[in-house]
């Protein structure tokens, strides 16, 4: 039972040509709804679109398997792409697919979407025995996993499966960090910068002193931190009274994540404490408001988990050496695991993602599709054996 390479390639290219920035996935969702219904699924579009201000929700496609006793399997990928991602012109050089250099390719994550569709084509045209399969094509993964966050997993029969959303073939990502989204609002006191700067407290200076004390970047082998955005000030001749800093911290250890987040807050609070001013009998003090939110929890699927064992067995059948790995990034799998499912992230062949140099080797795409097909077949076979016991 082989993957139809031509069909897979053509679908990928067709999907890449459909614009689908986060919150604007409607066109690609309608194309996929058609595909899923043609393949025999019952399709639901959930209300995530309304909840996140997008033009369509998550697409949930339920396939009834021929083996009702087999363990249902989840296959998921995200429909949205990052900027610049409109009007993508895919170019094929031999087996290498890339954009024309103005936009990303969008193989992240249309390669995952196309692989899932192709595998289901093969299952259907060969009448392969298989379990129930739940397909979830999410929206807004790139906007902070918010499509997956809105997903009601009680709509799914599967409690285990795969997200197809990572790069080099031969890897299964089973561990990912937890992340905090961090926002600091530094308040100073405004004054005329030329006439009476002594009547002001510069929020820019407070922020700068605080940031200068912060450990940022790679903190240790499992922890990172970043201040990524800074906004503030009104004009060059006004002592600024407001600066907003936005950043994040990530760690594979919950304790280290808390410690790093607290460290960043303390650096700013200590800087603010050093800036006080007595003016007309009143006392002014720089201050910091901190807004800290858990963006997503860490993912940790053990090597002994059934889904990891299943993927390993499939890799072995294809003579592929598969390694489980930790990533520094978060993906929909973080959220699905947080919601009680057991989900790992399988690679699709996408490379240099989130850049206009993004490319994909079609041979990796075909191999990844072959892997997923093997996983679907083994998942069916495994349970059949077990129910005969
Ligand atoms: Zn992605």
Position 347 scores a pLDDT of: 96
Position 68 scores a pLDDT of: 83
Return mean pLDDT, the chain.
Answer: 96
Position 329 scores a pLDDT of: 86
Cα distance between the two ends of the chain: 27
Q: Nearest-5° angle of CA 225, CA 227, CA 231?
A: 170
165 CA to centre of ligand 1 in angstroms: 5
- As a whole number, mean pLDDT of residues 64-72 equals 92
Position 253 scores a pLDDT of: 95
Position 387 scores a pLDDT of: 43
pLDDT band at 1 (very low <50, low <70, confident <90, very high): low
- As a whole number, mean pLDDT of residues 264-279 equals 97
pTM of the predicted model as reported, rounded to 2 decimal places: 0.89
Per-residue pLDDT tens digits for 45-64: 999 999 999 999 999 999 99
**Residue 91 tokens, joined:** 């170019």
Buried b (16+ CB within 10 A) or exposed e, 290-309: bebeebbbbbebeeebebbe
pLDDT band at 169 (very low <50, low <70, confident <90, very high): confident
Residue 80 annotated as catalytic: yes
The residues, any chain, with a CB within 8 Å of residue 11's CB and separated by 6 or more, are 35, 114, 117, 118
Position 382 scores a pLDDT of: 77
Residue 382 annotated as catalytic: no
317 CA to centre of ligand 1 in angstroms: 27
359 CA to centre of ligand 1 in angstroms: 14
Least confident of 75-79, 111-115, 381-385: 381-385
The share of the chain scoring above pLDDT 90, in percent, equals 94
- Alpha carbon 157 to its chain's center: 22
Per-residue pLDDT tens digits for 235-266: 999 999 999 999 999 999 999 999 999 999 99
The residues, any chain, with a CB within 8 Å of residue 285's CB and separated by 6 or more, are 272, 273, 275, 276, 277
Per-residue pLDDT tens digits for 78-94: 999 999 999 999 999 99
Higher pLDDT, 328 or 188: 188
Per-residue pLDDT tens digits for 345-389: 999 999 999 999 999 999 999 999 999 999 999 999 875 444 444
Q: Nearest-5° angle of CA 189, CA 193, CA 198?
A: 60
Given the residues 141, 209, 342, 364, the one annotated as active site: 141
pLDDT of 99 strictly over 70:
yes
Per-residue pLDDT tens digits for 311-325: 999 999 999 999 999
The share of the chain scoring above pLDDT 70, in percent, equals 98
- Alpha carbon 243 to its chain's center: 29
Helices (H), the chain: 5-16, 26-38, 48-52, 107-125, 146-150, 203-213, 254-273, 306-317, 332-338, 362-388
Could you give the 3-state DSSP secondary structure of residue 23?
coil
156 CA to centre of ligand 1 in angstroms: 21
77 CA to centre of ligand 1 in angstroms: 8
Given the residues 25, 35, 46, 80, the one annotated as active site: 80
- As a whole number, mean pLDDT of residues 87-113 equals 97
């Amino acid at each position: 039972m082989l993957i139809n390479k031509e069909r897979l390639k053509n679908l990928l290219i067709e999907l890449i040509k459909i614009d689908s920035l986060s919150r604007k996935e409607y066109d690609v969702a309608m194309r996929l709804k058609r595909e899923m219904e043609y393949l025999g699924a019952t399709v639901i579009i959930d209300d995530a679109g309304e909840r996140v201000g997008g033009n369509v929700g998550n697409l949930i496609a339920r396939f009834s398997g021929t083996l009702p006793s087999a363990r249902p399997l989840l296959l998921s990928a995200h429909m949205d792409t990052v900027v610049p991602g409109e009007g993508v012109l895919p170019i094929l050089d031999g087996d290498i697919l890339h954009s024309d250099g103005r936009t990303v390719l969008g193989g992240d994550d249309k390669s995952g979407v196309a692989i899932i569709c192709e595998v289901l084509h093969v299952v259907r045209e060969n009448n392969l025995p298989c379990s129930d399969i739940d397909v979830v094509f999410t929206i807004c993964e790139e906007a902070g996993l918010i499509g997956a966050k809105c997903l009601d997993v009680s709509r799914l029969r599967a409690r285990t499966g795969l997200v197809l959303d990572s790069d080099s073939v031969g890897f299964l990502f089973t561990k990912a960090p937890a992340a905090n989204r961090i926002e600091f609002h530094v308040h100073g006191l405004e004054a005329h910068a030329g006439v009476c700067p002594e009547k002001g407290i510069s929020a820019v200076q407070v922020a700068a002193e605080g940031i200068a004390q912060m450990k940022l970047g790679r903190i240790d082998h499992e922890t990172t931190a970043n201040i990524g955005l800074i906004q503030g000030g009104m004009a060059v001749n006004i002592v600024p009274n407001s600066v907003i800093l936005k950043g994040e911290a990530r760690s594979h250890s919950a304790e280290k994540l808390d410690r790093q987040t607290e460290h960043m807050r303390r650096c700013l609070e200590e800087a603010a404490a050093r800036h006080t001013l007595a003016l007309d009998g009143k006392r002014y003090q720089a201050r910091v408001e901190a807004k800290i939110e858990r963006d997503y929890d860490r993912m940790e699927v053990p090597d002994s988990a059934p889904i990891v064992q299943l993927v390993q067995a499939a890799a072995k059948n294809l003579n592929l050496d598969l390694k489980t790995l930790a990533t520094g990034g978060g993906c929909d799998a973080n959220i699905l695991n947080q919601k009680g499912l057991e989900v790992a992230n399988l690679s699709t062949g996408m490379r240099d993602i989130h850049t206009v140099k993004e490319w994909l080797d079609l041979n990796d795409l075909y191999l990844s599709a072959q892997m997923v097909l093997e996983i679907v077949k083994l998942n069916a076979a495994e349970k059949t054996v077990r129910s005969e016991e």
